[in-house]
A = this chain, B = another copy of it.
Amino acid sequence: MKVVFGSPGTWSGLLLRTGQWVFAGASIGVMLSAFGFSNYTAFCYLIASMGLQALWSLGLACLDIYALRVKRDLHNPLLVSLFVVGDWVTAALSLAAACSSAGVTVLFARDTDFCKAYPQFSCGRYQISTTMAFITWLLVATSSLVMFWILTSA
C-alpha cells in the first residue's frame, strides 16, 4: 500500500488527526460557552456530532503515536477499510452538523434581526463554532479521500 500525505501511522497523518480533534474540541468549547445554545436542536446536534468526531480522531491520533513509537506499519487492507468507513460516516455527520448550524446562524444573523434585537445572544460564538465545524469537516474530508486513495491503489 502506498504511503502518501496523511497516511495512518505517519507524522502527517498524526498532524491531520490532531487538527481534527483540536478543531472539533474547540467548536464544542465555543458552543458550550455561548448563551442559550441549548434551546436550539441544531446547536445541540453540532455538539454531539463534533463530540463523536473528536473521539474518533483522538483515537486514531493515539494509534498513530503508538505506530510511530513502535515503528509499526498500519497499512493493511482491513485496518484501512475500517478507517475509510469511519471517516466517511463521521465526515457526513460533521457536514450535516455544520450545515444545520450554519442554516440557523445565518437565519439569526442575516435573515432576521435576532442578533441585533437580542444582543445578549452570543451570535458571534455561534458563528465561530460553526466555522470551526466546517474546518473540522474539511480536515476529515481530506483524511477520507487519502484513506480511500490508499485502499483503492493497493
Interface residues of A, Cβ cutoff 8 Å to B? 39-42, 92, 95-97, 99-104, 106-107, 110-111, 152
Residue of B nearest to A153 (CB): B152
Residue of B nearest to A100 (CB): B103
Given the interface pairs A102-B100, A103-B103, A104-B103, the reply to whether A41 lies near B110 with Cβ below 8 Å is yes
Return the contact of A103 from the options B92, B99, B110 (Cβ within 8 A): B99
Q: What chain B residues lie within 8 Å of A97 (beta carbons)?
A: 99
**How many copies of this chain does one complex carry?**
2
A103 close to B42 (CB less than 8 A): yes
Given the interface pairs A95-B92, A99-B95, the reply to whether A107 lies near B110 with Cβ below 8 Å is no
CA distance A102 to B45 in the complex (A): 12
A42 close to B92 (CB less than 8 A): no
A111 close to B39 (CB less than 8 A): yes
